[in-house]
């Protein structure tokens, strides 16, 4: 008997017919969502163990291979994230099949997450496709509307054992939070307010919350001193705990550290990335210990891949075989991911807890 996964939520068992009967009997068995159950258990284990899960954005084969191989070697659980843009670029069917291939070749837990879903319909589509979790990002809406949209997604997702991530606040970087006075936490600024976080989680029912504490997307996160508002993060965590929500999982978006060795490599081989800087890894380590159980990483992957490609193009300008430059680029991404899961997120060795 051969058992293999044909999707994120099905197992298909192939059983040969009796002797003398040609062909194969193919039986599809709907089971409890294996990957979703894994996602929920790994989140709980990460909270208990004070490590974080790397949530890596993917949109092509090389990125998926590099990330999964690195985590397999380090025995680290992981989350593969797919954004709306990635779905548009690569086609959801291609991405799904690539991830299914990765799952079949790997032993570590792999969750599949929709990153920054902007509509209920997109979230529903991904839930129906078997994603283990989705993010509905209505943070640009007024508070009550944000709650309303998130609750609608939660009500649908939970029917399928799918987890939902919401976001409160705006990822504007370490800029002055409009409305902040005397160190208080305003309700009109860009950063996440601890009391509003409690209200938001209770009313929306989201399973995890992405917070705004000075983080932002991209390779140019800060002007001047690099820092996150870690005291605010601690206040959010405490407020959730005091409100009876337990050790509630928080999410850190815009968490790429923009390694300066990669920026230097890109610039050395023809790139122009002046003043690129990210979140200090020391801040990410503190956030992990406080309770940011899911840490999103995208920009760093792009930097690693770009550095690898640029080096080949510069050193061997006659090269035109994609394997000769995508291969080294994939190796750069793999090295980066191994460092992240081992030295920053500290999830290496926890795949089989």
Active site residues: 115
Q: What sign does the dihedral 119-185-345-226 (CA atoms) show?
A: positive
- Sorted by sequence, the CB contacts under 8 Å of residue 219 that are 6+ apart come out as 256, 258, 263, 273, 276, 277, 278, 299, 303
- What CA–CA distance (Å, rounded) separates 200 from 235? 15
- Sorted by sequence, the CB contacts under 8 Å of residue 343 that are 6+ apart come out as 281
- What CA–CA distance (Å, rounded) separates 87 from 130? 15
Instruction: Judge whether 221 and 278 are in contact, CB under 8 Å.
Output: yes
Instruction: Judge whether 138 and 165 are in contact, CB under 8 Å.
Output: no
Instruction: Judge whether 147 and 196 are in contact, CB under 8 Å.
Output: no
- What CA–CA distance (Å, rounded) separates 186 from 164? 26
**What is the number of H-type helices and E-type strands within the chain?**
12, 11
- What CA–CA distance (Å, rounded) separates 182 from 65? 49
Instruction: Judge whether 49 and 353 are in contact, CB under 8 Å.
Output: yes
Residue 166's closest CA among 189, 199, 188? Answer: 199
DSSP codes of every residue in 215-254:
--SSSB--SSS----HHHHHHHHHHHIIIII-S--EEE-S
């Amino acid at each position: 008997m051969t058992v293999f996964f044909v999707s994120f939520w099905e197992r298909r068992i192939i059983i040969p017919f009796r002797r003398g009967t040609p062909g194969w009997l193919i039986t599809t068995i709907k089971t409890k969502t294996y990957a979703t159950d894994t996602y929920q258990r790994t989140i709980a284990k990460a909270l208990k163990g004070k490590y974080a899960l790397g949530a890596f954005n993917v949109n092509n084969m090389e990125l998926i291979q590099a990330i999964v191989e690195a985590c397999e070697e380090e025995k680290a659980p992981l989350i593969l994230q797919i954004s709306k843009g990635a779905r548009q670029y690569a086609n959801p069917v291609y991405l799904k099949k690539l991830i299914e291939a990765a799952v079949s070749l790997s032993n570590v837990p792999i969750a599949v997450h929709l990153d920054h879903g902007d509509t209920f319909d997109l979230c529903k589509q991904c839930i129906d496709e078997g994603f283990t979790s989705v993010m509905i990002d209505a943070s640009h809406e007024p508070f009550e509307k944000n709650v309303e949209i998130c609750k609608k997604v939660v009500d649908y997702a939970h029917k399928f054992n799918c987890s939902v991530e919401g976001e409160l606040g705006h990822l504007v970087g370490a800029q002055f939070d409009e409305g902040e006075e005397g160190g208080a936490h305003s309700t009109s600024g860009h950063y996440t307010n601890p009391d509003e976080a409690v209200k938001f989680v209770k009313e929306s029912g989201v399973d995890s919350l992405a917070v705004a504490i000075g983080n932002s997307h991209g390779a140019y996160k800060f002007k001047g001193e690099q820092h996150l508002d870690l005291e605010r993060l601690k206040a959010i965590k405490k407020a959730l705990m005091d409100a009876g929500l337990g050790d509630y999982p928080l999410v850190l978006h815009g968490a790429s550290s923009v390694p300066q060795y990669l920026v230097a490599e890109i610039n050395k081989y023809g790139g122009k990335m002046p003043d690129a800087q990210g979140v200090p890894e020391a801040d990410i380590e503190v956030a992990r210990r406080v309770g940011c159980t899911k840490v999103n990483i995208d920009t760093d992957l792009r930097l690693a891949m770009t550095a690898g490609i640029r080096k080949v193009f510069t050193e061997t300008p006659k090269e035109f075989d994609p394997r000769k430059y995508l291969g080294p680029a994939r190796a750069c991404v793999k090295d980066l991911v191994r460092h992240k899961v081992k030295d920053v997120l500290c999830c290496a060795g926890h795949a089989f807890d």
